[in-house]
Homo-oligomer: A and B are copies of this chain.
């Protein structure tokens, strides 16, 4: 079920959503953080630091720091993998799900408002 967009629609959608996100959200996540958050919530678990680093093409400390920040915001949680105690399993939270639900609504709303 592909979504067909014109160049104008694509950029206008991105524009309006980004703008609203900047205006409404004081948390100001970076693009990397948003990518990580979306990945955790949209791709089946388990998620590890190393795995995320590989997928995003960044170093491990970047993931650790992003998880620190988003952990403080209550958007994700971490816990040791009891089967292999070297690993850390990244888990979802209610607040994180809520955050993405709002983002989804925003995208849908702005998509509906598109003209041209």
Q: How far is the CA of A57 from the CA of B48 in the complex (A)?
A: 36
Count chain B CB atoms within 10 A of each CB in A5, A105, A112 and give the residue with the most.
A5
Total A residues in contact with B, Cβ cutoff 8 Å: 48
When each residue 60-76 of chain A gets 1 if its CB lies under 8 Å from chain B and 0 otherwise, what string results? 00000000000000000
Known A5-B3, A112-B3, A113-B2; contact A11-B55, beta-carbon cutoff 8 A = no
Q: How far is the CA of A74 from the CA of B48 in the complex (A)?
A: 37
**Interface on A for B, CB 8 Å cutoff?**
1-7, 9-15, 17-19, 21-23, 28-32, 34-35, 38-39, 41-42, 55-58, 100-101, 103-105, 107-108, 111-116
